[in-house]
Copies of this chain bind each other. A is one copy, B any other.
Amino acid sequence: MSNTFGRVLCVTTFGESHGPAIGCVIDGFPPGLEIGADEIHAHLMRRATGQSRWTSQRREAEDVQILSGTFEGRTTGTPIALLIHNTDARSKDYSRIAAQFRPGHADYTYHHKYGIRDYRGGGRSSARETAMRVAAAALARKYLKQQLGVEITGWLAQLGEEVCDEHFDAAVIDTNPFFCPDAGRVPVLEEYMKRLWKSGDSVGALVKARATAVPVGLGAPVYAKLDGDLAAAMMSINAVKGVEIGAGFGSVAQKGTEHRDEISPTGFESNHAGGVLGGISTGQPLELAVAFKPTSSLRLPGRTVDAAGEPVEIVTTGRHDPCVGIRAIPIVESMLALTIMDHYLLHRAQCGDVPPQQPRIPG
């Protein structure tokens, strides 16, 4: 169960960073959606490492194969298996650290949990796994768009101390390697990354995402709340340390009169709730923020111990992002899409389909 995401739309992923392949099985997907490997590939390339000098230099072709679940280009309702062979895994990079626990990595915990671990490139704990989330979500996004008009957008809100989204232009996001929505900030980010790269250090990131046209009524109180499932979905992404919905931690210092979103005959007057009340979508945009910790793989030496308990100094020489949060943006979007779709299907189970016409607020 632990490598499966979703309640009725179940995505099971498998594969290690330097194993022969990674893949996933999508179970419970509705029949009839037109989908091709090329469409999935386009999403994978958006996530792909190696797309800019600011992200990991590993270059995977990401040639995804659809092994099952489609017929003549359409989903059939049977499990859809997707597979990508790993082609650019350089295991020799990692041999030196086989017996050492890299600080900030899962080496120590995998070692103690399982008593054995595939240390090459982080094995299962590598962000390589997230490619399959993006692949699976490619189908969910297309389905949600066709069925409900849902649009999902993620962006870089902060890079280290640098705020990136004071000015927001959605059209800018995909025009720069930072997924930054403010064209004016891009040169600043480039300069920032250059200095960071030179220093050998890394930095965290704040990623935000939004989904529009989510119908009112998705979410199943109380332990399958839409926001609860979103929190789990986001926290399951590598390097995530925090999740907010709507006003998030800002709501701590808010007054009730400020936070509560008043309603008028034409709709909600604000969206501090982030599109969820009582665990159920309100019909407003779903809005969330996700905190990514800085990359722990650094060429700056760190102190740790080896499996025998002896102190050692560790230096990571592989290819690594100075900021993992940047390339995580399509992953955040993907988990948002998968969660919404799972809840859409779950809602259909209990309550039937959502009305073709959204309720005019507040009907």
Contact = CB atoms under 8 A, between A and B. Distances in A.
Nearest to A120: B71
A49 interface: no
Contacts of A177: none
A5 interface: yes
A352 to B, nearest CB: 6
A30 B350 contact: yes
Contacts of A325: 252
Given A350-B30, A363-B309, A263 B304 contact: yes
A225 B216 contact: no
A181 interface: no
Nearest to A347: B113
B1 A27 contact: yes
Nearest to A325: B252
A293 B251 contact: yes
Given A3-B223, A123-B71, A251-B293, A76 B117 contact: yes
A349 B2 CA distance: 12
Interface residues of A, number: 158
Contacts of A77: 113-114, 116, 350-351
Contact of A253 (B160, B232, B253, B280): B160
B161 A222 contact: no
Contact of A296 (B80, B256, B292): B256
A210 B267 CA distance: 41
A201 interface: yes
Given A114-B76, A304-B263, A2 B293 contact: no
Given A25-B14, A118-B71, A220-B2, A303 B269 contact: yes
Interface string A266-280: 000100111011111
A213 interface: no
A265 interface: yes
Interface stretch (A54-62, A102-110, A167-175): A102-110
Contacts of A78: 3, 14, 16, 114, 118, 123-124, 221
B16 A68 contact: yes
Contacts of A109: 216-217, 219, 276-282
A67 B359 CA distance: 32
10 contacts: A4-B10, A12-B27, A28-B349, A29-B350, A31-B116, A108-B277, A227-B235, A241-B251, A255-B294, A345-B350
The 6 closest A-B pairs by CB, nearest first: A106-B278, A104-B260, A2-B220, A202-B256, A109-B280, A2-B224
